[in-house]
Amino acid sequence: MASRDDDIISVAELGRRLKGAVEAATSNSWVEGEIASLKRAASGHCYFTLRDEREDASIDCVMYRFQAQRVRRLLEEGARVQLFGRGSFWVPRGRLQFVAERARPAGRGALLEALEKLKQKLAAEGLFDVERKRPLSARPQIIGVVTSGHGAAFEDIRTVAFRRGGVKLVLSPALVQGEAAPNSIVAALDLLEKYSKLDTIIVGRGGGSGEDLMAFNDERVVRRVAACGIPVVSAVGHEIDTTLTDLVADRRAATPSQAAEIAVPDQAAQARELAHCLQRASRALTARLAEDSGTIARLRGRLSDPRFLIAERQQRLDEYNWQLERQISEQIRQGRDTVASRHGRLLARHPARVIAESRATLSPLEARMIASARFSLQAARNQFTQHVAKLEATSPLAVLGRGYAIATDSQGQAVRDAADLSVGAKFELRVRSGSLSATVSEVRPAKVTGEGAG
């Protein structure tokens, strides 16, 4: 059992320590491998696995939106790339991952090898020799510029040149990036060289990636700059970027602004003042940089890049979104199963089916009812026939049919005794067919026999 003096930490604290240790051990690393299981989230982040096809090894990777947008075309399933970044520990899931900040094709080494061969070839021809480089005009009047007509490079050159002295600039616009850029730069140089009053030509562009600067490593551009009859100042990219055009030009500038400073000299007083200011600025900047470096180092230890903090929260949100999508899909599936079950039960009780079953049940009952009705009707007919026969047997009309007659007085009462009528009284005699009207002419009382006496 742990004692009170043991250093007991939480799981979250352990995760943070692991995160710090992994990031410290793997910061600023290039890793090469093949992209697999690429997934682009709605937030713009890219999640994938980087595999080592030569060995059984892989690691989960993430490239956050603000970096993935610049290299989107490189992040494809199955692509072999080189990633720059650092390892990290994703605390919420307890897993290692590589946070990529930059990406480049794995074939970049072959491109650099070809560029090195071209460099050696041109150097062997003496194009980079210091002896062939020409000095720039001490008092230039007209300076030609070959760069993009829409980029910031020409604006920087114009701003610096006009501030430093009264010179004229002649722009020969050209493409500075892409497959058509080499021919465009060569054509622009051809056009400027026909302008006989030029003192200096500045060729360049603003900074960019190695791929963006490849037009200035093209053999056609390099040879055209070397053959140019006017001194050339190369201003391609930043200080860290060196192209073959920089090596063959008469002067090389780190930026387009610096190229204007080199091509347009200032007065001696301005130069001395500038030197003095530069010294003061350098000392102040060095001191400030030293102070700021210490401050940044302290703050960096306390707070990492806010963009990564936000991106990590977005990564957690992406996982929540995927979990919610799975739950919704499961609920939809269960709902469909319930609907299907109830639909089956409803079909079993469909009105048409119920009516059909009821008709099937009623059909034999109807036949039985008709048969019973017919039987009852026939029995009633037989009974009626019997009653009619009995009635006819006892009917007075039947007696009349045997030759008897019925006498009725004027009131319609049957005459039962001869004394019921007097002489002259009228009465009717009904026979079998019809009746007779008669008048009593004589009344004869019945004879009394010995049997009837007493």
- Residue 66 is part of a domain; what is its CATH number? 2.40.50.140
- Judged by average pLDDT, the poorest of 211-215, 377-381, 383-387 is 211-215
Q: Tell me the pTM.
A: 0.42
Evaluate whether 103 touches 84 at the Cβ level (below 8 Å): yes
Structural domain includes residue 280 = no
Residues 139 and 60 in one domain: no
Residues 181 and 251 in one domain: yes
Residues 90 and 122 in one domain: no
Residues 82 and 121 in one domain: no
Residues 123 and 208 in one domain: yes
Question: Mean pLDDT across the stretch 173-191?
Answer: 92
Residues 254 and 171 in one domain: yes
**Locate tokens 């079953």: which residue?**
357
Between these two residues, 376 and 300, which has the higher pLDDT value? 376
Strands (DSSP E) contained in 259-302 are none
| Residue percentage of the chain with pLDDT more than 70 | 90
Residues 98 and 134 in one domain: no
CA dihedral for 81, 85, 87, 89, sign (positive or negative): negative
Question: Mean pLDDT across the stretch 137-162?
Answer: 89
Looking at the predicted structure, is the pLDDT value of residue 158 above 80?
A: yes
Q: What's the confidence (pLDDT) of residue 13? A: 85
Looking at the predicted structure, is the pLDDT value of residue 432 above 60?
A: yes
Could you tell me the CATH number of the domain that includes residue 144? Answer: 3.40.50.261
What is the H or E stretch that residue 310 is in? helix 306-348
Question: Mean pLDDT across the stretch 183-192?
Answer: 94
Looking at the predicted structure, is the pLDDT value of residue 450 above 80?
A: no
Between these two residues, 410 and 401, which has the higher pLDDT value? 410
Structural domain includes residue 301 = no
Structural domain includes residue 35 = yes
- How many structural domains is the chain composed of? 3
Structural domain includes residue 366 = no
Residues 134 and 260 in one domain: yes
**110 — pLDDT class (breaks 50, 70, 90):** very low
Question: Mean pLDDT across the stretch 361-367?
Answer: 82
Q: What's the confidence (pLDDT) of residue 108? A: 47
Looking at the predicted structure, is the pLDDT value of residue 238 above 70?
A: no
Largest Cα–Cα distance in the chain?
Answer: 197
Q: What's the confidence (pLDDT) of residue 267? A: 54
Pairing mode, if any, of strands 57-63 and 95-105?
A: parallel
Expressed in angstroms, the distance from the first to the final Cα of the chain is 147
Looking at the predicted structure, is the pLDDT value of residue 356 above 60?
A: yes
Burial of 33 (0-12, 13-18, 19+ CB in 10 A): buried
Domain end point (choices 236, 265, 294): 265
Q: What's the confidence (pLDDT) of residue 298? A: 77
CA–CA dist 224, 220 (Å, integer): 6
Between these two residues, 431 and 146, which has the higher pLDDT value? 146
3-state secondary structure of 146: strand
Domain end point (choices 52, 76, 108): 108
CA–CA dist 348, 5 (Å, integer): 73
**441 — pLDDT class (breaks 50, 70, 90):** confident
Residues 125 and 222 in one domain: yes
Residues 121 and 97 in one domain: no
Pairing mode, if any, of strands 57-63 and 46-52?
A: antiparallel
- Take residue 356 and report the two structure tokens written for it: 């059909």
Quote the domain boundaries for residue 89.
11-108
Domain end point (choices 265, 298, 313): 265
What Å distances lie between residue 198 and 62, 148, 153, 191, CA to CA?
Answer: 52, 19, 20, 12
Residues 216 and 92 in one domain: no
pLDDT tens per residue across span 276-311: 888 888 888 888 888 888 887 777 766 666 777 788
CA–CA dist 152, 139 (Å, integer): 26
Structural domain includes residue 453 = no
Question: Mean pLDDT across the stretch 81-90?
Answer: 88
Residues 123 and 239 in one domain: yes
CA–CA dist 239, 48 (Å, integer): 34
**Locate tokens 């990590």: which residue?**
312
Structural domain includes residue 220 = yes
Q: What's the confidence (pLDDT) of residue 25? A: 78
Structural domain includes residue 284 = no
Structural domain includes residue 164 = yes
What average pLDDT does the chain have? 83
